[in-house]
Amino acid sequence: MLCIKLSFFIFLDFHTIIAFFVVKAPNLTYTARYGDTVQMICNFPVPKEDDLNKLTVSWQHFPPQHDEARQVTMFTNGRESVLSQEKTYNGRASLLIQELKNGLAILQIGEVNPTDAGTYLCVLQLGGSDYKEITLNVQASYRNIETSSHISEDNEISLMCESLGFPKAEVYWKKNEVNLSLPVNTSHTQTPNGLYKITSTIKGIDMNQRYNCVFWNKELNEETEASLKHSGLLTHASNYNRYPQRNDSGHHTQPLQTAIITTIIGFIVVFLVVIILFLKRRQCFKCFKKKGDRSSAL
């Protein structure tokens, strides 16, 4: 009976210690774009300067549909250890050590890719211990759409669109802003860094018509599209609800960027003209002055 009571009090005392050391997170979900840098934050009671050597910080990653944790970074004995770090995070993930004295355990991941998505566990120990779970979502727009065309031996024309992004997008085709019901073959593969490579082909089209392939990324609520004919010359990806203007020939234009470049070139030309006129005027003035001096001498 005495042992049971003693165990009970030890249990209470242990959880009382832990209760004073609470880890919090200002955000439980982060969303990052492919190639960007993301910082995920855990807060803990501000330690004394001498306690930093006793502090242990561990960031672990649980990818979707994986039960095993991946060690992202570890801080122990006053320094960050990279020996236990998974190779996929080498040179990309680190702990902002200078922020630990402020009670902030900040994990920074650079060059984010889809394989970084999932659940992150922020575990801290200093007298007591506590943790927080944080979710990271990764998105990649299907901005760069490659196109090509092909004509078979029986003169059947096919058009192809291909792009990389994340998550997996749906692809549909349209002509004159009307969705097509022609047979479409769409397939996908995944690259080592987790991006989806989606290829879509449409057959039996009219050589004289222009067609659009549209990539619909549901998670980003974003559409990107490419316009092409059999020659495959017209290719441009545009953001959903932000389509570039077109000129009479049908090619996409960027009026703002063109106007800025034209203005800069105009200023440069005017500046050069002014300099040339100034130098010529100065040279003529010197010639006139020399002639005047000679006349006076005579």
pLDDT tens digits for range 162-213: 999 999 999 999 988 888 877 889 999 999 989 999 999 998 777 778 899 9
pLDDT tens digits for range 278-296: 777 766 555 545 555 544 4
22-139 and 145-246: same fold? yes
Identify the pLDDT of residue 153: 80
pLDDT tens digits for range 93-104: 999 999 999 999
For the ranges 7-11, 47-51, 81-85, 144-148, the maximum mean pLDDT occurs at 144-148
Phi-psi domain of 17 (left: phi exceeds 0; alpha: psi -120 through 50; beta: other) = alpha
What CATH fold (topology level) applies to the domain 145-246?
Immunoglobulin-like (2.60.40)
Identify the pLDDT of residue 260: 57
* CATH class of the domain whose range is 22-139: mainly beta
- When pLDDT is averaged across residues 8-23 and rounded to a whole number, the result is 50
* More confident: 23 or 281: 23
Percent of the chain with pLDDT over 70: 77
Identify the pLDDT of residue 234: 53
Q: Where are the domains of the chain?
A: 22-139, 145-246
Query: CA dihedral in degrees (202, 138, 143, 215; nearest 10)?
Result: 30
Angle at 32 between CA 194 and CA 39, to 5 degrees: 115
Residue pair 224/141 in contact (Cβ under 8 Å)? The answer is yes
Supply the DSSP symbol for 234: -
pLDDT tens digits for range 221-246: 899 999 887 764 555 555 444 433 33
